[in-house]
Amino acid sequence: MSTSAPLRQAPETSMSTPRRRTPAVGTSRLGRGLLWGLCGIVGLWLIVPVLVVIPLSFTGKPSLKFPPDSWSTRWYANFFADTAWTSALWTSVEVALLVTVVATALGTAAALGLTRARVRGLGAAQGAMLAPMIVPGVVLAIGTYSVFLKLQLVGTLAGFVMAHTVLALPFVMIPVTASLRGFDRRLENAAASLGAGSWTTFRSVTLPLVAPGVASGALFAFVTSFDEVVVSLFIQSPYLQTLPVKMYASVTRETDPTIAAAATMIIVLTTTLVFTATFFVARRNRAQ
Amino acid sequence: MVLLDELSGTARSATKGRAAAREPGGRRPALLILPALIALAVFFLYPLAVVAWSAFTDPAPGLGNFTWFFGEPGNLRTLTRTFTTALWVTLISLVLSYPYAYAMTVAGPRVRGVLTMLVLLPFWTSLMVRTFAWVILLQDTGVINQILGAFGLGPFSLIRTQTGVIIGMVQLLMPFMVLPLYAVMSGIDQRLLPAARSLGARPATAFATVYMPLSLPGVSAGCLTVFISALGFYITPALLGSPTDAMISQQIFTQVNGLLKWGRGGAMGVVLLGLTLAMIALLAVSLRRAGRRVNG
């Protein structure tokens, strides 16, 4: 429910309000020391566990022993030589890109409709669209599996795209709705009074102004699809599976460090994305 | 009638009727919701309806699957285990996240940036990758046992235990606790604490009676998000836990995928979904009551 709204705010508020440093607990030196000590430990605890996979991916031995005692890049070579891994990666990227397009289009349209329409049942519609965030993954997964068996969508690209799209919809709608609410409608009226049609107004006035919301929605949609495991586990086939599904199978079946190479590449990709996004948000805030 | 308040520009008053039909704010924008609603109906509501339907009809119509579920002691143990695990994960996350989120609000911009980054990076990193990392850390010859061994402790078996599942899940779900806490705490006026102190309250009293109540909306949002996510967690308990200590999601998976008992899996799914919705309703009611107390 409130998972992504604070997320979007977090980097922004951090830039906008330089606050006076008046620590409350920390008035005593002991209290302040405790607070920062705990904070440091928790910070490390959040980040360090993820990092162990990076050295592991360069191990020289075919085991998941940590720390490795010899080094090589053979697991990366193995990843790109094994069609099971590369086709899983390709499927994941393809599905995630398609989901980004479909979910962003559907979610943005729906957010526009929800903020502007004056009809009955809007609250119910909005609630329904946020519901995929709270329904337990496995429950949706078995239902989707059963429906896909009937519709013959198991193991198809279209099946993956649609299953992931409904999961990504709320993550598009929340940021887009937020940016639409903080939007001055008189700008649209001004454009219309100058003779712009509704499509021109939307394209040249509304869209550029809500673009940050749409962009963060698109990023959410991509990541939601790229990370999805539970539903994908059910709707995969031996011929079409996504990268997380391949990783899951690899962890349960074998001790093959190729998975560490795959994990490291995902971490590098994610980190780059987050840093770039944060950089742009910071720059935009400074410009304002 | 509602359309009238949209007509603020005088330029369009001549073509009032047409403008009203074209203007966003009428009935037409509702059509924009339709594509998303259709996708949702076919690929979300319909599958859930199928699950509920199979719970009551497969293999025979009736409540057979539910009497089976509540009649087996093993199932009730699973349900209790799922609940206690989710509860522990929520409590530990809260205890660790509260000071962290508070520190984020009192830190300077640079430190705050670093602290935010430390939360956002794991938040964005694939759940599968992070669970795999925990498999490496918790294994019997893993880093944690090596560190403990250096102090002459252990080795403890952490993987395939409930402790391992809780450790992993706390770390995986903590961003969902920190972010709402921070969002609420950063809106609290920090001058309130010195104000309370100047009126004679001791620091701890000031914190407990002034700051904590104001941060409660963040606490409840964070706890709810973590708790309901933990209730339905599948990947992490499946990879870090033991099959004999399965959580309800794993049992659903086994019933449907392994045993092809769609009805039993469906009944468990209905129970899990019902519990999740009940938790949300409970929170909504308590928040409304709290809001009334503050406002009235």
* pLDDT tens figures, A168-189: 999 999 999 888 887 788 888 8
Distance of CA B35 to the CA centre of its chain: 27
Cross-strand pairs, A59? A71
Q: Does A133 touch chain B (CB under 8 A)?
A: no
Give me the pLDDT at residue A146, please.
94
DSSP single-letter state for residue B12: T
- Are A282 and A212 a contacting pair, CB within 8 Å? no
pLDDT-derived band of residue B162, with 50, 70 and 90 as boundaries?
A: confident
pLDDT-derived band of residue A288, with 50, 70 and 90 as boundaries?
A: low
Assigned domain for A208 exists: yes
Give me the pLDDT at residue B7, please.
30
Give me the pLDDT at residue B24, please.
46
Q: Which amino acid is at A186?
A: R
- pLDDT more than 70, % of chain A: 90
Assigned domain for B254 exists: yes
Q: Using CB atoms, pick whichever of A107, A136, A267 lies closest to residue B276.
A: A136
Q: How far is CA B71 from CA B57, B64, B76, B77, in A?
A: 18, 10, 8, 11
Assigned domain for B39 exists: no
Give me the pLDDT at residue A27, please.
57
Looking at chain B, which residue has its C-alpha nearest residue A149?
B47
Domain membership of residue A118 as a residue range: 83-287
A156 torsion bin: left (phi>0), alpha (psi -120 to 50), beta (else) = beta
Q: Residues of B with CB below 8 A from A247's CB?
A: 128-129, 132
DSSP symbols for B134-169: HHHHHSTTSHHHHHHHHTT------TTSHHHHHHHH
Give me the pLDDT at residue A197, please.
84
Q: Whole-number mean pLDDT of chain B?
A: 84
Q: Is residue B5 predicted with pLDDT exceeding 50? A: no
Lowest mean pLDDT among B212-226, B264-278, B281-295: B281-295
pLDDT-derived band of residue A48, with 50, 70 and 90 as boundaries?
A: confident
Give chain A as a 3 state SS string.
CCCHHHHHHHHHHHHHCCCCCCCCHHHCHHHHHHHHHHHHHHHHHHHHHHHCHHHHHCECCCCCCCCCCCECCHHHHHHHHCHHHHHHHHHHHHHHHHHHHHHHHHHHHHHHHHHHCCCCCHHHHHHHHHHHHCCCHHHHHHHHHHHHHHHCCCCCHHHHHHHHHHHHHHHHHHHHHHHHHCCCCHHHHHHHHCCCCHHHHHHHHHHHHHHHHHHHHHHHHHHHHHHCCHHHHHHCECCECCHHHHHHHHHHHCCCCHHHHHHHHHHHHHHHHHHHHHHHHHHHHHHC
- Token pair 């998000």 in the structure block, residue: B225
**Is there a contact between B224 and A1 if contact means CB atoms under 8 Å apart?**
yes
Q: Does A22 touch chain B (CB under 8 A)?
A: yes
CA-based nearest residue to A166, from A242, A221, A217, A209? A221
> What value does the mean pLDDT take over residues A104-123?
88
Distance from CA of A138 to the nearest CA of B (A): 6
**ipTM of the predicted structure?**
0.83
**Is there a contact between A138 and B113 if contact means CB atoms under 8 Å apart?**
no
CA pair distance A231, A99, nearest whole angstrom = 15
Q: Using CB atoms, pick whichever of B26, B141, B183 lies closest to residue A6.
A: B183
Q: Residues of B with CB below 8 A from A248's CB?
A: 128, 235, 239
Q: Is residue B22 predicted with pLDDT exceeding 90? A: no
Q: Does A109 touch chain B (CB under 8 A)?
A: yes
> What value does the mean pLDDT take over residues B64-90?
91
Lowest mean pLDDT among A110-124, A214-228, B47-61, B282-296: B282-296
DSSP single-letter state for residue B125: S
Assigned domain for A30 exists: no
φ/ψ of A59, rounded to 5, equals: -70, 155
Q: Does B206 touch chain A (CB under 8 A)?
A: yes
Give me the pLDDT at residue A18, please.
43
Domain membership of residue B218 as a residue range: 57-291
φ/ψ of A71, rounded to 5, equals: -125, 150
- Are B43 and A106 a contacting pair, CB within 8 Å? no
φ/ψ of A156, rounded to 5, equals: -115, 155
Q: How far is CA B162 from CA A160, B148, B157, B192, in A?
A: 32, 19, 10, 42
Which carries the bigger pLDDT value, residue A4 or residue B201? B201
Give me the pLDDT at residue A231, please.
95
**Which tokens in the block code for residue A110?**
């729906």
Q: Does A85 touch chain B (CB under 8 A)?
A: no
Q: Whole-number mean pLDDT of chain A?
A: 85
CA pair distance B119, A47, nearest whole angstrom = 8
> What value does the mean pLDDT take over residues A220-247?
93
Give me the pLDDT at residue B74, please.
87
**Which tokens in the block code for residue B112?**
């705050």
CA pair distance A207, A228, nearest whole angstrom = 29
Looking at chain B, which residue has its C-alpha nearest residue A110?
B33
Looking at chain A, which residue has its C-alpha nearest residue B4?
A118
**Which tokens in the block code for residue B187?**
């809106």
Mention every residue, 6+ apart, whose C-beta is less than 8 A from residue B281. Answer: none
**Which tokens in the block code for residue A99?**
């989901």
Q: Residues of B with CB below 8 A from A234's CB?
A: 257
Cis omega (within 30 of 0) on the bond before A67? yes
Cis omega (within 30 of 0) on the bond before B155? yes
Give me the pLDDT at residue A233, please.
94
pLDDT-derived band of residue A198, with 50, 70 and 90 as boundaries?
A: confident
Give me the pLDDT at residue A6, please.
39
Give me the pLDDT at residue B93, please.
96
CA-based nearest residue to A235, from A139, A166, A99, A142? A142
CA pair distance B228, B238, nearest whole angstrom = 17
Q: Does B160 touch chain A (CB under 8 A)?
A: no
Distance from CA of A31 to the nearest CA of B (A): 10
CA pair distance B107, B227, nearest whole angstrom = 28
Give me the pLDDT at residue B294, please.
62
**Is there a contact between A35 and B124 if contact means CB atoms under 8 Å apart?**
no
Q: Is residue B130 predicted with pLDDT exceeding 90? A: yes
Find the CATH number of the domain harbouring A166.
Answer: 1.10.3720.10
Q: Is residue B16 predicted with pLDDT exceeding 70? A: no
Q: How many domains is chain A built from?
A: 1
Assigned domain for A111 exists: yes
pLDDT-derived band of residue B293, with 50, 70 and 90 as boundaries?
A: low
pLDDT 10s digits, A133-166: 889 999 999 999 999 999 999 999 999 999 999 9
pLDDT 10s digits, B259-274: 888 899 999 999 999 9
Give me the pLDDT at residue A255, please.
79
- Are A142 and B50 a contacting pair, CB within 8 Å? no
Cis omega (within 30 of 0) on the bond before B47? no
DSSP single-letter state for residue B14: G
Of A27, A89, A142, which to mutate for an interface test with B (greatest number of B Cβ within 10 Å)?
A142
Q: How many domains is chain B built from?
A: 1
Mention every residue, 6+ apart, whose C-beta is less than 8 A from residue B58. Answer: B65, B262, B263, B266
> What value does the mean pLDDT take over residues B44-55?
94
Q: Is residue B142 predicted with pLDDT exceeding 70? A: yes
Lowest mean pLDDT among A49-53, B15-19, B283-287: B15-19
pLDDT-derived band of residue A21, with 50, 70 and 90 as boundaries?
A: very low
Find the CATH number of the domain harbouring B276.
Answer: 1.10.3720.10
CA pair distance A29, A31, nearest whole angstrom = 5
- Token pair 């940016």 in the structure block, residue: A179
pLDDT-derived band of residue B12, with 50, 70 and 90 as boundaries?
A: very low
> What value does the mean pLDDT take over residues B202-230?
90
CA pair distance B292, B296, nearest whole angstrom = 6
CA pair distance A219, A281, nearest whole angstrom = 13
Assigned domain for B25 exists: no
pLDDT 10s digits, A252-281: 887 789 999 999 999 998 888 878 877 777
Assigned domain for B8 exists: no
Give me the pLDDT at residue A162, please.
95
> What value does the mean pLDDT take over residues B101-106?
92
Lowest mean pLDDT among A78-82, A192-196, B86-90: A192-196
pLDDT 10s digits, B219-231: 988 999 999 999 9
CA pair distance B38, B41, nearest whole angstrom = 5
> What value does the mean pLDDT take over residues B167-196?
91
pLDDT-derived band of residue B53, with 50, 70 and 90 as boundaries?
A: very high
Q: Residues of B with CB below 8 A from A119's CB?
A: 27, 30
